């Protein structure tokens, strides 16, 4: 990317001069989690477009983005390594139609940019539709390892971040990972600690961060879960967990504290100091927010080392395809019959909680709108679950997590207990060129995922929360 700085800077200037005030990234998994962390942590520079990351098929998520943009002044980044991801493709179809209605189909291509590998269908689409530009990444770079490639650096440039500084921090960490003595190697040391602790039974890596770095957990979840959760092995990343009192942290945890200097760290420092009495603890210091790119590199390197120690391949994701295949079958049944299949599962959180044993973790799989009300309700519910069951909890919004922790859920150890939460779609959205809506697609993805988990004998429950999901989560918590 060092050699691309002039190109990326020039492109960012071109976008500003063209009058775009918003950038919307349409992607899933590795193509968008890094940009989402940069957006949350660094924001956009003054005078540069705001970035929104849309990685959901839920109509409410799509509508929330659609309501705040002017399609004529919005640049859409269609970001997909394979170029065939169903979420990216359907979102592209929806917004292509929206832009075409405003500026005309002949001119619509100027509002779109492709980021993909060479030789994909998305590269061809960009050429056929007259996209403003196509950035072609090296196929050798895996999706979750791609934040320091075009997938992360194009969005970063468009919101005005200083790529020279970001890449400089990554290069410094790269150099720190060339030290032959593993004890002095920044990445190898972290990887060795993570894997050794997992082999000794502390396989719940609990990431605690300074407040300004809270978004980093999204990226780390995918890096660890998708890279290491296979062959019945894995490290379970526990990110974004509500703070608990000391007695509620189970003995199977490793604590990693990502600490940003000059942040409001008083409460977090106190929590970590308390937990260090009972748990092995690693503290990683960041001088400022641009050190995020150093951490991206450190954790990529550490994950590869951990994979070697655990005896798993850190660069594949063999179980992700299973949920995709199930979703395709569910959609096929819908197109044939007009109805989604019914899936049997425990229909109460209480039934599922009764199955939890020491050493487990509870994964909340929320196919719900990512609103502040829902997020707060989930945080409170997670805290109550941990206090009641004595095991760590994770929480992910679907279908985002399918491209992140979904690999761990199917390929990792059988210690997961899975609670799927679904809701209604009061205002559904049509998908141009498809016989089903976004609401149907999201429901098919949740059903396909549940089927995939059940086929592997995982402990599952599904609770439908209707059209008031935050209130529904609060009811579940009260029942506990």
Per residue in 288-325, is it b (16+ CB within 10 Å) or e — as a string?
Answer: ebbbbbbbbbbbbbbbbbbbeebebebeebebbebbbe
Q: Which of 21-35, 196-210, 314-328, 386-400 has the lowest mean pLDDT?
A: 314-328
User: Does pLDDT of 32 surpass 80?
Assistant: yes
237, 222 contact by CB (below 8 A)? no
Q: Which element (helix H / strand E) includes 464?
A: strand 459-464
Cα dihedral angle (380, 382, 385, 388), rounded to 10 degrees?
Answer: -60
Q: Which of 33-42, 98-107, 329-338, 409-418 has the lowest mean pLDDT?
A: 329-338
Chain segment 355-414, per-residue pLDDT in tens: 999 999 999 999 999 999 999 999 999 999 999 999 999 999 999 999 999 999 999 999
- Kindly indicate the confidence band of residue 347, based on its pLDDT and cuts at 50, 70 and 90: low
Q: Tell me the C-alpha to C-alpha distance, in Å, between residue 266 and each of 111, 261, 263, 281, 380.
A: 45, 11, 9, 17, 22
Chain segment 120-175, per-residue pLDDT in tens: 999 999 999 999 999 999 999 999 999 999 999 999 999 999 999 999 999 999 99
- List of long-range contacts for 167-171, beta carbons under 8 Å, 24+ apart: 167/1, 167/2, 167/5, 167/293, 169/290, 169/291, 169/292, 169/293, 169/294, 170/293, 170/294, 170/296, 170/297, 171/2
The predicted structure's pLDDT at residue 325 = 85
pTM value is: 0.96
DSSP symbols for 356-392: --TT-EEEEEEES---HHHHHHHHHHHHHHHHHH-S-
Cα separation, 256 vs 359, in Å, equals 19
Cα separation, 258 vs 274, in Å, equals 16
The predicted structure's pLDDT at residue 345 = 64
**What is the pLDDT averaged over residues 36-61?**
96
DSSP 8-state symbol, 429? -
Q: What does the block give as tokens for 19?
A: 């009058």
Q: What are phi and psi of 52, to 5 degrees?
A: -120, 135
Chain segment 63-118, per-residue pLDDT in tens: 999 999 999 999 999 999 999 999 999 999 999 999 999 999 999 999 999 999 99
The predicted structure's pLDDT at residue 204 = 98
User: Does pLDDT of 18 surpass 80?
Assistant: yes
Domains of the chain from N-terminus onward: 2-161 (3.40.50.10490), 176-310 (3.40.50.10490), 320-479 (3.40.50.10490)
The predicted structure's pLDDT at residue 175 = 98
- Kindly indicate the confidence band of residue 320, based on its pLDDT and cuts at 50, 70 and 90: confident
**What is the pLDDT averaged over residues 14-33?**
96
Chain segment 424-470, per-residue pLDDT in tens: 999 999 999 999 999 999 999 999 999 999 999 999 999 999 999 99
CB count in 10 Å sphere of residue 123: 18
Chain segment 225-252, per-residue pLDDT in tens: 999 999 999 999 999 999 999 999 999 9
Cα dihedral angle (470, 271, 253, 390), rounded to 10 degrees?
Answer: -50
The predicted structure's pLDDT at residue 319 = 85
The predicted structure's pLDDT at residue 196 = 98
CA of residue 36 relative to chain centroid, distance? 8
For the chain, the C-alpha Rg in angstroms (whole number) is 22
**What is the pLDDT averaged over residues 253-268?**
97
SS3 70: coil
User: Does pLDDT of 322 surpass 90?
Assistant: no
Chain segment 300-317, per-residue pLDDT in tens: 999 999 999 999 999 999
Cα separation, 194 vs 204, in Å, equals 9
């Amino acid at each position: 990317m060092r050699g691309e700085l002039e190109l990326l800077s020039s492109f960012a200037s071109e976008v500003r001069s063209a009058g775009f005030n918003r950038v919307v990234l349409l992607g899933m998994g590795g193509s968008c989690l890094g940009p989402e962390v940069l957006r949350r942590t660094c924001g956009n520079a003054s005078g540069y477009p705001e970035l929104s990351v849309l990685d959901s098929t839920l109509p409410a998520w799509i509508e929330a983005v659609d309501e705040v943009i002017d399609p004529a002044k919005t640049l859409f980044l269609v970001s997909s390594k394979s170029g065939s991801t169903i979420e990216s493709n359907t979102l592209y179809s929806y917004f292509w139609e929206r832009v075409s209605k405003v500026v005309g189909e002949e001119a619509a291509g100027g509002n779109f940019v492709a980021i993909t590998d060479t030789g994909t269908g998305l590269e061809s689409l960009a050429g056929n539709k007259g996209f403003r530009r196509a950035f072609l990444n090296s196929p050798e770079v895996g999706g979750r390892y791609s934040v320091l490639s075009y997938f992360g650096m194009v969005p970063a440039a468009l919101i005005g971040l200083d790529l020279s500084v970001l890449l400089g921090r990554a290069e410094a960490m790269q150099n720190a990972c060339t030290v032959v003595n593993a004890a002095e190697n920044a990445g190898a040391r972290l990887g060795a600690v993570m894997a050794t602790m997992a082999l000794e039974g502390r396989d719940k890596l609990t990431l605690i961060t300074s407040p300004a770095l809270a978004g980093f957990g999204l990226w780390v979840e995918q890096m660890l879960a998708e890279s290491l959760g296979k062959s019945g092995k894995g490290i379970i990343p526990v990110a974004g967990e509500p703070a608990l009192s000391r007695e509620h942290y189970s003995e199977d945890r490793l604590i990693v504290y990502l600490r940003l200097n000059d942040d409001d760290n008083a409460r977090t420092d106190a929590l970590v100091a308390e937990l260090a009495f009972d748990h092995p603890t690693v503290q990683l210091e960041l001088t400022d927010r641009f050190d995020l790119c150093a951490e991206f590199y450190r954790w990529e390197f550490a994950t590869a080392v951990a994979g070697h120690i655990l005896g798993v391949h850190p660069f594949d994701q063999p179980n992700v395809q299973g949920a995709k295949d199930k979703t395709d079958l569910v959609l096929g049944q819908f197109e044939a019959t007009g109805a989604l299949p019914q899936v049997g599962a425990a229909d109460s959180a209480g039934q599922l909680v009764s199955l939890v044993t020491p050493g487990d973790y509870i994964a909340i799989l929320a196919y719900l709108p990512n609103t502040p009300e829902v997020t707060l309700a989930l945080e409170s519910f997670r805290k109550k679950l941990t206090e009641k069951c004595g095991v760590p909890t994770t929480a992910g919004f679907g279908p985002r997590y399918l491209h992140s922790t979904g690999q761990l859920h199917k390929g990792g150890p059988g210690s997961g207990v899975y609670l799927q939460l679904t809701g209604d779609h009061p205002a559904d959205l049509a998908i141009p060129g498809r016989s089903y809506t976004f609401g149907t697609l999201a429901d098919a993805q949740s059903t396909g995922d549940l089927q995939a988990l059940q086929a592997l004998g995982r402990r599952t429950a599904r609770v439908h929360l209707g059209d008031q999901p935050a209130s529904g989560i609060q009811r579940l918590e009260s029942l506990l």
